[in-house]
Amino acid sequence: MTFTNPLAWGLLLLAVPIILFFFLKVRFRKEFVATTLFWQQVFEERRTRTLRRQFRHLLSLLLALLFLSLLVAAVLNPVADLPESDRYLLIIDNSASMNALLSESGSTRLDYAKQQAIARLNRTAAGQQVAILTANINPQIVSGFTDHIGTLRRRLAEIPATDFPGDLSAALYLAEQLIAEQPDALIYVYTGPERPLPTEGERGRVGGQEPANEQALTLALSQRERGLMPNVRFIPIGQPIDNLAITRFQPRRLPGQAADYEILVEVVNFGEETVQAHLEIDREGELIDVIPLTLEPNLPVTRIIRNTSAAGGLLRGSLASADPDSADLAGIAPASIDRFPTDNVAIAFLSEQFVQRILLYGRENFFLWNVLQVQPLTTITVIDTIPDTIPPDSVLVLHQVVPETLPSGNVLVIDPQYDSDLFRVEQRLERPMATNISTENSLVRFIQPGLVFAGARNIIPQRDNVHVLAETADVFPLYLQFISDNQRVLVLSADLNQGDLALRTAFPILISQALTYFRDSEALLKAYSTAEPVTLTVQTEQTQVILRSPSGREEMFPTQSGAVSLGKLGEVGVWTILEPETYRLLARIACNLFNPAESNLRLVAEVSVQSAEAGTLLARPIWHYLALLALLLAVAEWFLYQRRWVE
């Protein structure tokens, strides 16, 4: 036993005045009376009770000294002696599944995990160092090794709830690196009861996503198989529960249709019984469809919902319990209250449908004309004069002939022969083969390296707001993207009359992707999952943009030629990208869970785990109990005094 506040021993000196007051005799006051006849009887009774009175005084003294001893012991703050290992780690799983409710009170698994971890901290020996990690797809070190319990408690309380998928293997790998010099240090893992460690079957794609850290996963699995993780203690939080989840939700416009669209929805019942539920679809808060579902256990149900509307906006799919009166004769029960509401709702953006006007200017080309003519929901107008501004629903296509100053708006330049304010045109390239392609950009996502841009010229950008989409091995650009506040320009350097580019499928794909980009219906309208990294193109000249989460938290991200990489978004809902200072809306992102591994709260772990830490009587520091005993002693003494057992 070690005392963290040894100066409190000096408080024992308070026992001296207590003892002195006990032996202090009260002097009787002398008074003259007429007779002592009646006082003799009083003196006789007092002598018979002297022994009892001495006992009562002694008991009072002992209680007072005991009360002082308990108070001094509490101030001394005793802790257990340092065990064999002078450090240990706490891993808190704050993935999406830890947001499941434990009961109707609203407490989540993560809340209870923090309480258990704090109870573990309260039993920490003097001088023992503790580190705290979080376990999700992006494991983090919340606190490095320290023996300051107050700091550790604050760090625990600050661990946020996220909607990231879980990844215990990566957290364990990070923990093993932290204790490399002391491998016998214990690791306490507070997680749900579903999967303390990934199984072999989970090494592949889970819910369409690759494992976050293959090296960490392989290491953790090999250690588990060989039984080399005896220092890991799993503390399961919560019990397996039934859950309904929307695992896919993606709308799209039908090609060639003026206003038709369809939504692909997948719902899974992660439970043990067949249930009934309703899937409600609304657009911008307006209900458009209600679909009854009969969901068998662990069997995905897919629906394709078709509707007609030229208007775009936010589509929302919500799971709702079926009417109890709707249970059929087969005895299928309606779905009960779901304790994991995160995956009961899915959102996605639907692009607004309109007829895109293509303004064609320059030299005629058979291949270009035919490719533009087959594009759905477009009209082509050949113009003789280039307007100063291109309307938002239009695209200016320039073939070879380029003005000195390009107009504001959407502009597609093909095989430029003249200089402009954005670029300078030089000699033709000897080997115009695309080698380096920016595959993260949807404009060239389906283009393979090796494509020859015959007749391409060397295009030298004159502005900094340029992003090279494709270039040669000698770093000569072949396809460029310029982005500013009021202008979006794509420049494709290739002579359509030379080579076979115009005859390949790559050319119509490039044109189609460019027109889709100008419609603002590219990756900005994709419904992302919390496990997917997000990279978008935004129309701004700022070097930074603001990313605002659904809960209102803001963070700055750098941009490079209008492209911004946001990484993985850890909260479901609508994220917004804003321009600094003006707070102009640049983009909106729909983010969902879409992870069967997180939604399956019924799965029971295959490995044995440690039960939840027992010993609730020691869940708090020892001084708490000493102070409580002192309080109880004070109450007991007051009671005995009232009964005249002590004086």
pLDDT tens column, 465-518: 888 999 999 999 999 999 887 889 999 999 999 888 999 999 999 999 899 888
Handedness of CA 335, 341, 346, 347 (dihedral sign): positive
pLDDT of residue 192: 87
> Pseudo-torsion of CA 505, 511, 513, 515, nearest 10°?
-150
Any idea which residue has 């809902």 for tokens? 573
pTM: 0.68
Helix (H, G, I), strand (E, B) or coil at 91: strand
CATH of domain 523-596: 2.60.40
| Contact predicate 428/507, CB 8 Å | no
Q: What is the pLDDT of residues 359-369, one digit of tens each?
A: 999 999 999 99
In CATH terms, is domain 244-350 a member of 2.60.40.10?
yes
CA angle, corner 478, sides to 476 and 480, nearest 5?
A: 105
CATH of domain 87-240+604-620: 3.40.50.410
Q: What is the pLDDT of residues 549-601, one digit of tens each?
A: 999 999 999 987 677 899 999 999 999 999 998 999 988 999 999 999 899 98
Q: What is the pLDDT of residues 401-415, one digit of tens each?
A: 999 999 999 999 999
Q: In whole angstroms, what is the distance from residue 70 CA to residue 341 CA?
A: 49
Euclidean distance between the first and the last CA atom of the chain, given in angstroms as a whole number: 36
Among the listed residues 611, 608, 609, 600, the one whose alpha carbon sits nearest the alpha carbon of residue 240: 600
Handedness of CA 334, 267, 343, 316 (dihedral sign): negative
Sketch the domain layout of the chain as residue ranges.
2-27+38-77, 87-240+604-620, 244-350, 356-518, 523-596
Handedness of CA 545, 550, 554, 556 (dihedral sign): negative
Q: In whole angstroms, what is the distance from residue 300 CA to residue 346 CA?
A: 16
Q: In whole angstroms, what is the distance from residue 489 CA to residue 325 CA?
A: 59
Phi-psi category of residue 11: left, alpha or beta, with phi > 0 → left and psi -120 to 50 → alpha: alpha
Query: Phi and psi at residue 253, in whole multiples of 5°?
Result: -80, 140
Phi-psi category of residue 266: left, alpha or beta, with phi > 0 → left and psi -120 to 50 → alpha: beta
Q: In whole angstroms, what is the distance from residue 361 CA to residue 604 CA?
A: 65
Q: Which residues contact 171 (CB under 8 A, 6 or more apart)?
A: 91, 93, 133, 134, 135, 136, 139, 189
Element containing residue 170 per DSSP (H, E): helix 168-178
pLDDT of residue 267: 95
Average pLDDT over residues 174-186: 85
Using CA atoms, how far residue 420 sits from 349, 395, 417, 460, in Å, is 36, 18, 10, 10
Helix 50-76 vs helix 37-48: crossing angle, to nearest 10: 50
Average pLDDT along the chain = 81
pLDDT of residue 212: 43
Q: Name the architecture of domain 356-518.
A: 3-Layer(aba) Sandwich (3.40)
Average pLDDT over residues 390-403: 93
The one-letter amino acid code at 160 reads P
Identical fold for domains 87-240+604-620 and 523-596, yes or no, is no
pLDDT of residue 209: 38
Any idea which residue has 């309109």 for tokens? 354
Using CA atoms, how far residue 30 sits from 24, 27, 33, 35, 213, in Å, is 19, 9, 10, 14, 93
